Structure 1
Amino acid sequence: MTDFQGLKALVTGGASGIGRATAELLAARGAEVAVLDLDPSGVDKPLRAYAADVTDDTAVRDAVAAAAADLGGLDVLVNNAGIGAQGTVEDNDDAQWHTVLDVNVLGIVRTTRAALPHLRLSTAAAIVNTCSIAATAGLPQRALYSASKGAVLSLTLAMAADHVREGVRVNCVNPGTADTPWIARLLDAAPDPAAERAALEARQPTGRLVSADEVAGAIAYLASPLSGATTGTALAVDGGMQGLRLRPVNR
């Protein structure tokens, strides 16, 4: 497919996992792609790499401005940078709450705020935020993370309403548990990594984790000019976790 031919895209958190898969897919489909990440040293051509911390407004503004200048504009913004957290509402202290919300919610605010002047000049402007199934389903031991992603879902809808008449579409993807470096670190830290992986796989009706490439495909669908009538939408990529209620397997 060449639906992104001639378009310029910026992907935050694009050095690994879902972000990297998305950046590479957009490039394969014709886009010129800039990656913004804390450590983009592993990013190779044809992707362009820019270092920035999404909690630093000045760094974000500088990186977005540099990327837009180098690309010659900006048509697509993928707000993918994020961090996780485990625990109930009792387990995370105020500092952890501030850190996760600063990255997962305000990171989107800062990047979008810097990108909007460029996006308004595009005839194919699209923003896609990486949300989570945790925004719509109650998951154990994910109170802080779920709260941050619930905010991302609401923010996506508000942004879509604010900017639709400016020609800027805004959507989000809600991945289920994805096979990413963050999940790999959680599994490594578990008392029984194999049992923990099996439990995560079992709660998704497909019986497996979501792949980064599958989430990237959904992001590309929402960002594509072919989806010009789609805005204010949350697209689940969760192996059926949100909507399906399967009967137990007879043994």
Structure 2
Amino acid sequence: MTNQMLTGKVVLITGASRGIGAAAARLFSAEGAAVVLAARGTDALDKIVAEIRGEGGVADAVAVDLADRAGVRAAVERAGERHGRLDGAFNNGAAIQQPGPLDTTSDDDIDQQFAVNFRGHWTAMTAEAELMRRGGGGAIVNTSSIGSRRANPALPAYGAMKRALNSITETAAVTWAAQGIRVNGITPGGTDTEMIEAWEAATPGVRDRINASSPMGRMATPREVAEVALWLLSDRAAMVTGAIVPVDGGAGA
């Protein structure tokens, strides 16, 4: 049984082809939303769209590269054209991580991470807000990281971009509150996704270290993280805006 927390809402999800984004696509649809799924490659998206439609849901796919500002705006507009409005957006993104200490992080690494991990969210948020204003408001959730809340020697540029994302999330919440737009962020800790698999391949043993760093002794599942975004996008969180919500099993406490 489902409580249908997003019944009648149109929700855009970026980074929807895998991990947290794919879990959110399935969960939000089950909770009544018409979902528009965005990612760089549409092959994986098409499979998720077919799955959701096969279960009676409403889903569409759109290609987007978060480093392409014009492409991001066009993807948001296509969501509006398909449904006539936008009620929610989960800017989950396709986060880029380049493990390595601060003094070996190259200028190119910083530029790439800025384009995707920060500017891509900024561009998406402003386009989403413009569309939401036409419909009288909406809700935005940005995926940040536990690495934004403390020193991050293993991922210095990633942590810096995510900390900047927290700041712009809070600023957007204050700026757009009078227009009926709520903006919140989540800071997942270790989450058992394909990104962790890639990090483990680059730095063997990182999975065990992440598990050991959590008071709960394990990583989150993508579905567990998506559940928090679901609540923040729903009307049950109507008085919540400007919050940066930890989803880390106590690892950041």
Aligned residue number for residue 155 of structure 2: 142
| RMSD of aligned residue pairs (Cα, Å) | 1.3
Q: Bigger shift: 123-132 or 158-167? A: 123-132
Q: Secondary structure in 1 aligned to 2:42?
A: coil
- Percent sequence identity over aligned pairs: 32
Within 5 Å, which residues of 2 pair with 1:64-213? Answer: 64-81=76-93, 82-123=95-136, 125-190=138-203, 193=204, 195-213=205-223
TM-score (norm 1): 0.92
Does 1:61 pair with 2:73?
yes
Residue by residue over 1:170-210, the C-alpha shift from the partner in whole angstroms, topping out at 9 and shown as x without a partner, is: 000000011111111111233xx4x3321110011111111
TM-score (norm 2): 0.91
Inter-partner Cα distance in structure 1 for 2:9 and 2:166 = 26
Once the 2 structures are TM-superposed, how far is the Cα of residue 68 of structure 1 from its aligned partner?
1.2
Within 5 Å, which residues of 2 pair with 1:220-231? Answer: 220-231=230-241
Q: Is the 8 A contact 1:125 1:167 kept in 2?
A: yes
**Equivalent residues, number:** 240
Which letter does structure 1 place at the counterpart of 2:72?
V
Determine which structure has the larger helix proportion and give its number. Answer: 2
Does 1:13 pair with 2:15?
yes
Inter-partner Cα distance in structure 1 for 2:43 and 2:135 = 29
Residue by residue over 1:127-169, the C-alpha shift from the partner in whole angstroms, topping out at 9 and shown as x without a partner, is: 0000111111223311111101100111110110110000000
Q: Secondary structure in 2 aligned to 1:90?
A: helix
Once the 2 structures are TM-superposed, how far is the Cα of residue 78 of structure 1 from its aligned partner?
0.9
Q: Is the 8 A contact 2:199 2:206 kept in 1?
A: no
Inter-partner Cα distance in structure 1 for 2:199 and 2:191 = 12
Inter-partner Cα distance in structure 1 for 2:98 and 2:173 = 27
Inter-partner Cα distance in structure 1 for 2:137 and 2:73 = 22
- Where does the alignment leave 5 or more consecutive residues of structure 2 unmatched? 54-58
Q: Secondary structure in 1 aligned to 2:5?
A: coil
